[in-house]
Structure 1
Amino acid sequence: VNDTFDNTNRLTQIAQGTTTVGFTYDNANRRATLILPNGVVTSYSYDTASQLTGMTYTLGNNPLGNLSYAYDNDGRRSSGTGTFARTGLPLAMNQTAYNANNQLTTWGTANLFYDLNGNMTSDGTHSYTWDARNRLSQIDSGNTATFSYDSLGRRTSKTILGTQTGFLYDRANPVQELSGTTPTANLLTGRIDEYFSRSDSTGARSFLTDALHGTLALTDSSGGAQTSYTFEPFGNTTLTGSSTTNSFAYTGRELDATGLYFYRARYYHPSFQRFISEDPLGYAGGSVNFYGYAHNNPVSFIDPFGLAPCGAECQSVINALKKLFPCSADTPDHRLTIPQGYNTVHQTLQAAGYQKPPLVWEDNPFLYWDPIAHSGGDEFRIGVGSSSIHFREPYPFPPIPQSDYTYTHPGAMGGRKTILDQFHTDYHNPSVDPLGHVLFDVLKLAENFEFYESLLDGF
């Protein structure tokens, strides 16, 4: 896979053999178009606050569909319209019950049960078995499904109703599916849960996706929609058109034949509208309900790791940054681009009252040490402790020549790319690092999540 960048370090092309994906940007450095391998173009439009307001899908001069979004004064998405705004409605459920741990115990006529670690063991139809790290390992004692994970916690294999599928990863995203050692599908991916194309025995399919990375349709080489997806707000999924073995659907996550979605740290039940195990972050995930999905606001937020979705503070920080940097711009994956140099950004932050500790990595080496991707880093923060809002430079993945760095901090083991300035809180980072920098807390609660520090930091 080869990546191409322009003179301002913006990604303009991803190429895998003869398959290419292209990107263009507007004058505010927001993504303007996405050009898929089959020639379908997704065009993006924004309001004056850089909120995504429209996505149009075209092939040459032929319109394929569109989406339009509106927002309230607090930046919450208030409506979604357009030809691709298909929405299913969940069935009414008039009998539910919960216990003091916010566990769903009754759903209609079914009784649900949990182990002492908060993992669901039965939903009235299926039984669930969990390993020592609270990862789902079997459904119905293996008769329905079994799952395996690597030493980094990624799901390497699933066997569902006798069909085994293995996975090869590029960091967080699967890029190849296998049957035994034989590849059965190849994926071209971008950001976390952003899938551009998938090729299997039926041919190549390009993904049309919405603002939440949900798959709207799989299109063939001529741009025709072969398989279409309709989602209920909380993710129950209906497919129409040609059958497919593609599992990447609601918010770009994997829908298993069991009816569960795999959200990395946990499995999600779209009918129950909640996860079937507790948030490993506990209260650090930003809610007293350890089973809730996206703070019960699935039209605005996503939770790619099953840990901590974008909360209300996300928009408040974005708004604060926009006031400090009028030239800044949102991108569709909840980043904020500030097209200014390192020193200019830092001077502006200092003038606004943000203070920079002299050596952050010495103050908290657990949060800022990564033997693979980066080491150290400058940071500006308002407030005290892990709950403060602070900004830092993105972490580049090696190998990056020293000449590509625009700044090297004295004493840091390497330099810092400075095109994107990112923000987070250590206890809740919904924006660029879905794990935030809560790894120190995560390690106390769930040792198996330590791999995210090296794999996902910098998204």
Structure 2
Amino acid sequence: MELPDGKAVTYTYNARGELTDLALADWETQSTTFSYDHMGRLQSAAQLNGPQTSYHYDEAGHLLDLLHEDGSSNTLAHFEYAVDERGNRISATETLAQPSSGDLVLEITYDYDALARLIGADYTIGTDTREHDFTYDLAGNRTQEVVTLNSTPTTTNYTYDIANRLSQIGGQSVDYDNAGRLTDDGTLTYTWDRANRLLDAGGSSYRYNGVGQRVDQTVSSVVTEYLLDVQPGLWQVLAATTGSDVTRFVHGPRGLHLQQQPNTDWVFPLHDGLNSLRSMVDEALDPLHLQNFDPYGNPFGVQGSMQSVFGFTGEPTDQNDLVYLRARYYSPVLAAFPSLDPLEGDIPENRSLNRYGYVQGNPANLIDPSGLIGERPPSGCQNQQQATCIGFPSGINSLDTNVKGIDAIDVYRRTLYAHTGVALSTACGQSVSWASYISSFTAAVLDIERKIGRSFRSVFGELEFRLHHNMPLNATGVY
């Protein structure tokens, strides 16, 4: 892939369609080799001049261990997880090298209700404790949060109207317009256009292209323009230009992989199991920045100087503390979206009918990179720049549904989760030839039916996969 300034990134794939090598050709001596297990799950990312990262899973594919090391096997960040029978994390031990010296060790325990909603998260760092307790109503709205810092509790109550819109936060009134969009939450005021795109919030103003992708942001009269990779799937920011300063971003199988600062220095992000950017190290692999997040994405325990706009779940966070999730912005403070989900939800999965709720109350395990629906962080290839990451031939990238601009496998995977609660992680490139497409897809359908105990049609109905030029594949491509 060649950028407008002539810089290029080279991607190499194996026969399964998995990214195996990433190199900055004729640019910098930066390259990474990726390896996968037999299920297509990412096992390692070995950078020539950067961190060495390894991933370990249980038999069901749940991530249990994520380790970032330097070339001498010194730990930069280590995330260890235990999960319950539903695959939800019940505990975590996190070790991160600090910008000052020594390691920060964070112990976390999680508790859930019968609907897999997070009702408790306890953090311990040495002798300091931080406890979060949540209460929800029948629609999945968070009605109370109790934050206890070293035995001192603070309670915040939330009330909602019949449409699941916030009406009060701790006694402070909240306002919406007639289109169901938040206009004043007591801290930020919001302005929207007729296409439901956020134009201004808390001093940040935004502009978009014709298909709704954000192309610039203005803060205090300073404009930052974004160069986007708009390949099918979730678009990514390749560069952010503010005046003469250009910050470049290189994305890999799990999101942001490398970042070049305006002074041309490289910094390396260290992600946790939720894809949140927890630390940044410099070219000498010394920590520059460290941050923790509470369950719904509010940072705490921040150390060092901020090096990247990417943060909670690996997505960009603006100066107004809103997280940009493409279709919508998410507010960690409110633990909700300030605008309606473009998808109306599904009656069999009644929690999806709450169109303001974030990941159905399970932020310790689910992410929402599209702003449309919660899902498990992918364990294999995903959203690689200039890469098609699907389990079908590379020519099939769109699905003839009312959801536009999303990769077919994304729609497929998201629909499966919305209907069944089953998070599907498929290996990339299970079939790359037209001749084997039908048999491979049929095998995948049978496997899914076995796993969920329901027929494919009962979940998806009649779905027709089409080519880019909107011509049907053939009659046998319809299920």
Question: Same fold judged by TM-score > 0.5?
Answer: yes
Provide closer, same or farther for how the CA distance between residues 395 and 420 of structure 1 changes in structure 2, counting only shifts above 3 A.
Answer: farther
State the AA in 2 paired with 1:219: V
Instruction: Quote the offset at 1:93 in angstroms.
Output: 3.1
Instruction: Quote the offset at 1:420 in angstroms.
Output: 13
Counterpart of 1:10?
A: 18
Counterpart of 1:165?
A: 224
Counterpart of 1:320?
A: none
2:371 aligned with 1:306: yes
Instruction: Quote the offset at 1:222 in angstroms.
Output: 1.2
2:244 aligned with 1:210: no
In 1, Cα distance between the equivalents of 2:306 and 2:443?
40
In 2, Cα distance between the equivalents of 1:100 and 1:185?
44
2:433 is paired with a residue of what secondary structure?
coil
8 Å Cα contact 1:218/1:226 also seen in 2: yes
Q: Residues 73-112 of structure 1: CA distance to partner in whole angstroms, max 9, x if unpaired? A: 1222222213147456564333322111111111124211
State the AA in 2 paired with 1:2: T
State the AA in 1 paired with 2:281: T
Counterpart of 2:137?
A: none
Counterpart of 2:242?
A: 179
8 Å Cα contact 1:273/1:292 also seen in 2: yes
1:251 is paired with a residue of what secondary structure?
helix
In 1, Cα distance between the equivalents of 2:272 and 2:266?
20
In 2, Cα distance between the equivalents of 1:224 and 1:373?
38
Instruction: Quote the offset at 1:120 in angstroms.
Output: 0.2
8 Å Cα contact 1:55/1:66 also seen in 2: yes
1:39 is paired with a residue of what secondary structure?
coil
Counterpart of 1:292?
A: 357
Counterpart of 1:59?
A: 70
2:345 is paired with a residue of what secondary structure?
helix
Provide closer, same or farther for how the CA distance between residues 264 and 73 of structure 1 changes in structure 2, counting only shifts above 3 A.
Answer: same
Instruction: Quote the offset at 1:63 in angstroms.
Output: 2.2
Counterpart of 1:235?
A: 297
Q: Residues 94-139 of structure 1: CA distance to partner in whole angstroms, max 9, x if unpaired? A: 3322111111111124211001111101112332110011111013
Counterpart of 2:314?
A: 252
- Structure 1 unaligned segments of length 5 or more: list them: 315-329, 336-340, 343-359, 397-403, 410-414, 426-435, 441-450, 454-459
2:330 aligned with 1:268: yes
2:380 aligned with 1:367: no
2:181 aligned with 1:119: yes
Provide closer, same or farther for how the CA distance between residues 280 and 109 of structure 1 changes in structure 2, counting only shifts above 3 A.
Answer: same
Counterpart of 2:208?
A: 149
Instruction: Quote the offset at 1:30 in angstroms.
Output: 2.7
Instruction: Quote the offset at 1:272 in angstroms.
Output: 1.2
2:352 is paired with a residue of what secondary structure?
coil
Which of 252, 259, 265 in structure 2 is aligned with 1:198?
259
Which of 85, 92, 95 in structure 2 is aligned with 1:80?
92
Query: TM-score, structure 1 length as denominator?
Result: 0.69
Q: Residues 36-78 of structure 1: CA distance to partner in whole angstroms, max 9, x if unpaired? A: 4632111111122222110112112222231111111122222
Provide closer, same or farther for how the CA distance between residues 12 and 156 of structure 1 changes in structure 2, counting only shifts above 3 A.
Answer: same
Q: Residues 139-195 of structure 1: CA distance to partner in whole angstroms, max 9, x if unpaired? A: 36xxx1210011121110111233221100112110100125x4510001024x610
2:400 is paired with a residue of what secondary structure?
helix
8 Å Cα contact 2:40/2:428 also seen in 1: no
8 Å Cα contact 1:21/1:196 also seen in 2: no
In 2, Cα distance between the equivalents of 1:390 and 1:70?
18
2:379 aligned with 1:331: yes
2:468 aligned with 1:406: no
1:73 is paired with a residue of what secondary structure?
coil
Provide closer, same or farther for how the CA distance between residues 213 and 416 of structure 1 changes in structure 2, counting only shifts above 3 A.
Answer: farther
1:295 is paired with a residue of what secondary structure?
helix
In 1, Cα distance between the equivalents of 2:221 and 2:405?
39
8 Å Cα contact 2:207/2:217 also seen in 1: yes
State the AA in 1 paired with 2:69: T
8 Å Cα contact 2:23/2:31 also seen in 1: yes
Counterpart of 1:45?
A: 56
Counterpart of 1:22?
A: 33
Number of paired residues? 367
State the AA in 2 paired with 1:137: L
8 Å Cα contact 1:22/1:36 also seen in 2: yes
2:340 aligned with 1:278: yes
In 2, Cα distance between the equivalents of 1:372 and 1:114?
29
In 2, Cα distance between the equivalents of 1:405 and 1:297?
35
1:275 is paired with a residue of what secondary structure?
coil
Query: TM-score, structure 2 length as denominator?
Result: 0.66
Provide closer, same or farther for how the CA distance between residues 177 and 307 of structure 1 changes in structure 2, counting only shifts above 3 A.
Answer: same
State the AA in 1 paired with 2:364: V
In 1, Cα distance between the equivalents of 2:406 and 2:164?
38
RMSD: 4.3
1:230 is paired with a residue of what secondary structure?
strand
Which of 267, 271, 286 in structure 2 is aligned with 1:224?
286
In 2, Cα distance between the equivalents of 1:219 and 1:189?
16
Instruction: Quote the offset at 1:406 in angstroms.
Output: 2.4
In 2, Cα distance between the equivalents of 1:49 and 1:393?
12
Instruction: Quote the offset at 1:390 in angstroms.
Output: 12
State the AA in 1 paired with 2:261: D
Counterpart of 1:346?
A: none
